[in-house]
Structure 1
Amino acid sequence: MARDIELRLNPDLDPAPFAEAYARDKLVRIPEIFAEETAAAIEEVLMRTLSWRLVFPEPSFEPGGREQVAMLTQDDIARLGREGMARRMQGVLTRASQNYGYLYHAYPMIQAYTSGWDSGHPVHQITEFLNSPEFLEFGREVIGASVITKADAQATLYARGNFLTRHTDEGHDRERRAAYTLGFTRSWEPDWGGMLAFFDDELNVSRAFLPRFNMLSLFDGTVMHSVGTVTQFAAAGRYQITGWLRDDPPASASAGG
């Protein structure tokens, strides 16, 4: 298990120039968001200590039911066996051929924190930091939001064959002010796929970015984007923490009270 992590943003970062870039482009990439030692410690947590779930969408098994998100542990995969997994994956690929779907490994950091999974695990320190005044205020200043109340967070690993088809994100109450990714991927090659791509109105790729190490990206999630399929010859995994900076209404307001 990784040791405790001293989490703080790089004190040399000035949010002002990044705020100017975000106001202009609704997208900004901020390198060296942490000190090298801190980034390396987070990298160690992601690469060495998490129990990943394989995540993908699938239809409800109940007639007329809503789509559900499958989140399979390694034990679940073993129980399904080769044939059971092949059937699931065929469904995933069929839907992806119709331009909808995703397949990647995840550790749901907020769910794990609130549900008491893996007590004492250092990943919970990261979850707390992402919801600390320091991180939320930095994000608020860069995106120009009046207030940010919290951050969603999940750790993700895109291994060979993993992907996220093009989509937009708004949230049920449009409470998502900006999407963010924290990259912890070293020495990624362009031919390995896995790029974060943005599309214009004619579905041309307007921008695409390699996974990077110690990089914070903030962008308008309502712009269509995707994560390209990681190739079968990629020599490493694509490690990130992803989520949204949010301004959720108070519980009483959302309930109509």
Structure 2
Amino acid sequence: MIGNDLNPARWRRALAQHGRAQIPEFLHPQEAFALYRCLAEQLSWHLAAGGGDRAWVSARGAYPEGDAYQQIAMRAHDRAQRGHQYLHDCYAPDDARNEDESGGLAIDAVPDSFNSAEFLSRIRMLTGDIALSRVGVQAIRLRPGQFLLPETSTAADDGRRYAYMLHLSPVWRAEWGGLLQSIDDQGDIGETFLPRWNALTVFRLPQRRQVTLVAPWAHRPQYGIGGYWLAG
């Protein structure tokens, strides 16, 4: 599944030096495009909102529309003034499998692929972390007005060692927002990553990071697959 051109040594140096890296052409092109088509055309999405000790996900088949969506979005925007908050669409393949919701979609095969011996071996070489043993997977869609505000995850949180996002929007422009950023201890932006097509952005934890608000004038949603690389 991983592209043949991945050079673990190159990106291992970047991760060791900066704690983050963006790896282009991560998947074979045909597999990346199949995943994009699945996310853009085939999924029944859930809306997720929360932050701190608050977490809410819409029920299966009950994505809020119209005024109901606007009320949830307004609450999320208001709470974003006070700290960590997120508002985005999601689809968890493992949850769908447990609820018999999956239908043989391309995304439903990703957890098994990302937790295969071959994939785990490649990310251990990439990071130099031989303790990595599992990968969490969630599909993400960011529509205009959606965002993920700064979050800090410690290395001890459920064994999380690295956060990742595989970007699956064929075209994305910086002025549309939805940029993935690292934030240092002084609150300054450390580095900004454009969600380039079929690129994998990786952050070593703990490290504050955010996805900026997707602008109202963005022509299309942003798509990706994200989660954590975990030990134990």
- Answer yes or no: is 1:111 the counterpart of 2:95: yes
**Gap runs ≥5 in structure 2:** none
Residue 175 to residue 87, structure 1, CA distance change in 2 (3 Å) = same
**1:113–1:127 CA contact under 8 A, matched in 2:** no
Check the 8 A contact 1:55/1:72 in 2, yes or no. no
Q: Percent identity among equivalent residues?
A: 27
Separation in 1, partners of 2:71, 2:130: 47
8 Å Cα contact 1:110/1:152 also seen in 2? no
Q: Aligned residue for 1:140?
A: 124
Contact 2:51 2:84 in 1 (8 A): no
Shift of 1:12: 2.8
| CA 193–97 in structure 1, closer or farther in 2 if over 3 Å, else same | same
* Counterpart residue identity of residue 140, structure 2: T
Q: 2: CA distance between counterparts of 1:150 and 1:92?
A: 31
Tell me what 2:6 maps to.
13
Which residue of the partner structure matches residue 57 of structure 1?
A: 50
1:100 to 72, 81, 84: 84
- Give how far 1:158 is off: 0.4
Calculate the TM-score normalised by the size of structure 1. 0.83
> Which residue in 2 is equivalent to 1:234?
218
TM-score (norm 2): 0.91
Report how far residue 163 of structure 1 moved. 0.4
The answer on 1:218 being equivalent to 2:205 is no
Counterpart contact for 2:88–2:142, Cα < 8 Å: yes
**Equivalent in the alignment of 2:20:** 27
Offset at residue 86 of structure 1 (A): 4.0
Residue identity opposite 2:44 in structure 1: S
Alignment of 1:48 with 2:41, yes or no, is: yes
Partner of 2:62, secondary structure, is helix
Distance 1:173 1:39, change over 3 A: closer
CA distance in 1, matches of 2:148, 2:199: 20
Post-superposition offset of 1:150: 0.9
Q: Secondary structure at the match of 1:214?
A: coil
What residue identity is the alignment partner of 1:157?
R
Partners in 1 of 2:81 and 2:90 — Cα distance?
Answer: 22
1:210 and 1:142 map into 2 onto residues whose CA distance is 21
CA pair 49-85 structure 1, distance change in 2 beyond 3 A = closer
- The letter of the residue matching 1:32 is E
For residues 156-235 of structure 1, what are the structure 2 equivalents within 5 Å? 156-170=140-154, 173-235=157-219
Asked if the contact 1:136–1:245 (Cα under 8 Å) also holds between the matched residues in 2, the reply is no
Please identify, of 238-247 and 30-39, the stretch whose mean Cα deviation from structure 2 is larger.
Answer: 30-39
Asked whether the equivalents of residues 48 and 55 of structure 2 are also in contact (C-alpha less than 8 Å), the reply is: no
Number of aligned residue pairs: 232
Which deviates the most, 105-114 or 232-241? 105-114
